[in-house]
Structure 1
């Protein structure tokens, strides 16, 4: 099937800043180039002990990175639902109702308010607890019901990241591929460079080589030079 991205209003759920780029960086560039609306609902951010030279990335640093990435892609809006150290890397301790309600109707970028045509979120099989609970909360928020009473996006996808394959019960083979040009893959890699606290040298799951290799592999699976792969959960034709 062919999608006219110029007519799409896309909502992407990112547990943390950079997840949207790792999972959907090529699609975002392709969609914005076509004239789509793209909105990013970040779930949380906070100070993070990491393997960077400083050993710590602060929430303030990551907010600044988000602003640069948002300008680069031309996002139509973005928002943090649960910012702060009380939530960062602890979303699995937040009641499911609160997470689901934020996604469904509580956030300024909620499904009820934004009425997106496409919603994309992490896959449930990620090893990261914040990704798992975000995926589960979205599943509840998009539960089947009367379309005259609740908005139903016609396309719902789960994005992948290279690190997701670490789980022994990793997601099955993807069933939805978005063809990318070399320029769109390059844009994805450039956006990750703007996330300076999160990009790493190879070998790392967020290195340039990893991102380009995954795009090449998924392109091969679809018979094209480059692609991003997704798991389609709903398609209403």
Structure 2
């Protein structure tokens, strides 16, 4: 338990083991720490000196023998705080260079790419990015029975869409659910239904096509292609004209 918590604070596994051994042993030689922590003898000095650099361990020399001593456990809190401050500074620096990085990343708008993205965080990045420049949003195969975390994710995304005054057409595969009602009364949103029929969860935003799969995690196939998006949009328009408007 202690080892995992120390690793979460930024220490490596070996650093955590060595530090815990020193807390238990008090003043100890490297060999004693190796025996207690089961760290490789070839790695022990590298590990201990890293702990010294982090301010968690100190050493003294007696009769030409080096002894290591763990500093007070409160120093871990100071180490974590210092690490957080460094991360905040890095975050600020990264924020200042993001525009330059975006220029480096410039993509040919005509390029056709296919990517597989797993997890809410990765999917969020691409769908929010597409939303900012969206001119046309069409969504079909929407079901209410997904895990609530996925429904909440899309509610938040659509709230942002509405805030940007971006219109969307949505075809649900069910109706009369709380999730369905949420979108029926939402501004800048048209909802229709094709019950008991689902061509799969698909969202088309301009030249971007997103195919979604919901299981334990959200999986998305992201296709950037004008021709494929046009084909999907044609299929969507046919379904839209056929769908119920309750």
Band the TM-score falls in, shorter-chain normalisation = under 0.3
Normalising by structure 1, we get a TM-score of 0.25
Q: Which structure exhibits the higher relative contact order, with contacts defined as CA atoms closer than 8 Å and separated by 6 or more residues?
A: 1
Which protein is bigger by CA-based radius of gyration? 2
TM-score, scaled to structure 2: 0.24
More helix per residue: 2
